[in-house]
């Protein structure tokens, strides 16, 4: 598999790169991203072949079919990390919640969020490549709450790798923050910034593209990469669970092989939805991908109107904070696939210079051929949490946005797969408020309340956070990020 660039080539970067080259240096010409030059058509034969496969068997065959330049032994080691999930035989259970709605639970890994699905194996792959090349890497991660804990978990104490993780101070749940600031491995640095996730992500992209920063790292014999979904090493592992979830419905005799479904994805940076898009491109029977947003509903407007307009907009703090994002990086990969590199470069230049771009009517129609969208506010989300709980299902606020989108966007009588991206433990005050009406509870009290109400235990890895010492207390202005990282190194 070879990779090309979303904004065309600048004459400095190679015309094509391998998978390992794309994940080691994820920012391409003109600040663009790497995408596959082509994708194989898997179709129904591949699905039928894996009807009785384990998750790891499916993943291994897909990665082999994609022909990435990673040794098979390294892939096996990477996939073995799914053994750390609640059920190693099925790390992603798919659960019926309504007659036509099934929830794919992506949160059964060590940090209780869907980012573990990609970052657990990704850490092994990247560290292995670095060791094979005899190089040291700094991995940058910007997080709205889930990428950070998952990246720190997978990279801690790994050889040839150090991590600098940026998070918006006050912009995550307490549990998410504690998962980061209690990490004590010497190769990890956690930095709170006074700003929002878009500020953290913008800083990450700026540093990835900064020759001055790269030269400062080179003087220390360190190279630069990233753990965000700008890195295709994340995306490739996110394709797998969409295929797995479809096969689970076939196994449960819910659908027949080849029957179309809706994929209903809570969307922030669009990596999860992009994985579903690539699965569709390779032959997964998908009617449409439903994009669920919260009050930061820029993606709803883009898909419904063709306009990406951030003029006068600012990130709104919501009850689903991992989606409190306005600049969704992976939309760029969709633009490239639909419209080519020249148009993508033009659109992204408009967004960066004017915080705005508009698709033509024809382009908007192409986008709407596969995507549909709606958004859910906090009050609506709590209503869906309470309704689901009353029918026996406990879910988090991000999953709740998908229930609103399902009600509004699933217009055909087809089965819908909702992707649940976080366990209830990550956002307990909101859920406790939805279930019992209690207000202003801190995380530990809310956890205990939900545990009692739902008669379900608090996982040990979550409960233990509240007694761990804070080892990463840095909070700085965003202008000081580069200096703080260099000080860490």
* Angle between helical axes of 428-436 and 378-390 (0-180°, round to 10): 70
Nearest Cα residue to 74 out of 113, 19, 31:
19
Over range 468-477, report the average pLDDT.
96
pLDDT classification of 185: cutoffs 50, 70, 90? very high
* pLDDT for residue 324: 92
Neighbours of 299 (CB within 10 A): 25
Mean pLDDT value across residues 376-382? 98
pLDDT of residue 479: 93
Q: What is the pLDDT of residues 36-79, one digit of tens each?
A: 999 999 999 999 999 999 999 999 999 999 999 999 999 999 99
pTM of the predicted model, to two decimals?
A: 0.95
Give, in order, the Cα–Cα distances in Å from 339 to each of 332, 353, 368: 10, 20, 14
Residue 333 clears pLDDT 90, i.e. is over it? yes
Mean pLDDT of 442-465: 95
Full DSSP string of 405-459: HHHHH--SS--EEEEE-B-GGGGHHHHHHHHH---S--HHHHHHHHHHHHT-PPP
Helix, strand or coil, per DSSP, at residue 138: strand
Q: How confident is the model at residue 223 (pLDDT cuts 50, 70, 90)?
A: very high
Let me know how long the chain is. Answer: 489
Residue 440's pLDDT band (cuts 50, 70, 90): confident
Residue 432 binned pLDDT confidence (cut-offs 50, 70, 90): very high
CA 134 from chain center: how many Å? Answer: 29
DSSP 324-383: --S--TTHHHHHHHHH-HHHHHHHHHHHHHHSEEE--HHHHHHHHTTEEEEE--HHHHHH
Q: What pLDDT, on a 0 to 100 scale, did the predictor assign at position 99?
A: 95
Mean pLDDT of all residues belonging to the chain: 96
- Please say if the pLDDT value at position 347 is more than 90: yes
State the pLDDT at residue 117: 97
Domain spans of the chain, in order of start = 76-112+233-460
pLDDT for 368: 98
Band of residue 425 on the pLDDT scale cut at 50, 70, 90: very high
- Of the pLDDT bands very low, low, confident and very high (cuts 50, 70, 90), residue 228 is confident
Average pLDDT over residues 293-297: 97
| Per-residue pLDDT reduced to its tens digit, 231-290 | 999 999 999 999 999 999 999 999 999 999 999 999 989 999 999 999 999 999 999 999
d(CA 231, CA 51): 30
pLDDT at 213 over 90: yes
Radius of gyration of the chain (CA): 21
Q: Are strands 286-293 and 188-194 parallel, antiparallel or unpaired?
A: unpaired
Domain 76-112+233-460 of CATH type 3.40.190.10 = no
The per-residue pLDDT for range 143-176, each reduced to its tens digit, is 988 999 999 999 999 999 999 999 999 999 999 9
| Tokens, residue 34 | 């790497």
CA 259/CA 405 separation, integer angstroms: 21
Mean pLDDT along residues 474-486: 95
Query: What is the pLDDT averaged over residues 440-446?
Result: 92
């Amino acid at each position: 598999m070879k990779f090309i660039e979303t904004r065309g080539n600048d004459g400095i970067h190679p015309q094509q790169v391998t998978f390992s080259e794309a994940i080691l240096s994820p920012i391409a010409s003109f600040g663009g991203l790497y995408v596959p030059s082509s994708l194989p058509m898997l179709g129904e034969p591949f699905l039928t072949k894996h009807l009785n496969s384990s998750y790891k068997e499916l993943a291994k065959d897909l990665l082999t079919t994609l022909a990435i330049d990673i040794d098979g032994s390294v892939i096996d080691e990477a996939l073995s990390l799914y053994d750390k999930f609640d059920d190693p035989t099925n790390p992603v259970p798919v659960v019926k919640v309504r007659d036509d709605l099934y929830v794919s639970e992506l949160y059964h890994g060590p940090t209780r969020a869907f980012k573990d699905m990609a970052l657990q194996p990704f850490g092994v792959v990247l560290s292995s490549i670095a060791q094979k090349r005899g190089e040291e890497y700094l991995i940058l991660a910007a997080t709205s709450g889930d990428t950070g804990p998952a990246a720190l978990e997978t990279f801690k104490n790994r050889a040839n790798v150090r991590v600098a993780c940026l998070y918006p101070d006050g912009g995550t749940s307490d549990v998410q923050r504690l998962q980061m600031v209690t990490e004590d491995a010497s190769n990890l640095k956690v930095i709170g910034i006074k700003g929002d996730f878009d500020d953290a992500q913008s800083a990450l992209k700026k540093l990835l593209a900064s020759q001055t920063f790269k030269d400062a790292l080179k003087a220390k014999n360190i190279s630069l990469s990233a753990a965000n979904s700008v890195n295709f090493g994340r995306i490739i592992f996110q394709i797998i669970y969409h295929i797995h979830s479809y096969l689970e419905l076939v196994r449960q005799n819910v659908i027949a092989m080849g029957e179309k479904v809706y994929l209903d994805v809570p969307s922030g940076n669009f990596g999860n939805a992009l994985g579903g898009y690539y699965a569709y491109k390779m032959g997964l029977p998908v009617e449409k991908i439903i994009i669920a947003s919260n009050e930061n509903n820029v993606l709803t407007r883009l898909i419904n109107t063709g306009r990406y307009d951030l003029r006068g907009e600012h990130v709104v703090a919501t009850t689903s904070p991992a989606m409190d994002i306005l600049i969704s990086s992976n939309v760029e990969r969709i633009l490239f696939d639909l419209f080519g590199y020249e148009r993508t470069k033009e659109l992204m230049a408009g967004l960066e210079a004017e915080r705005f771009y508009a698709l033509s009517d024809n382009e908007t129609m192409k986008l709407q051929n596969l995507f549909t969208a709606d958004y859910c506010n906090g009050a609506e989300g709590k209503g869906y949490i309470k309704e689901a709980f009353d029918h026996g299902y406990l879910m988090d606020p991000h999953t709740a946005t998908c229930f609103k989108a399902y009600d509004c966007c699933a217009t055909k009588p087809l089965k819908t797969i909702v992707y649940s991206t976080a366990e209830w433990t990550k956002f307990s005050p909101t859920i406790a408020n939805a279930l019992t009406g209690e207000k202003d509870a801190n995380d530990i009290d809310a956890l205990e309340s939900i545990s009692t109400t739902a008669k379900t235990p608090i996982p040990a890895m979550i409960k233990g956070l509240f007694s761990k010492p804070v080892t990463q207390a840095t909070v700085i202005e965003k202008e000081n990020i580069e200096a703080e990282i260099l000080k860490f190194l």
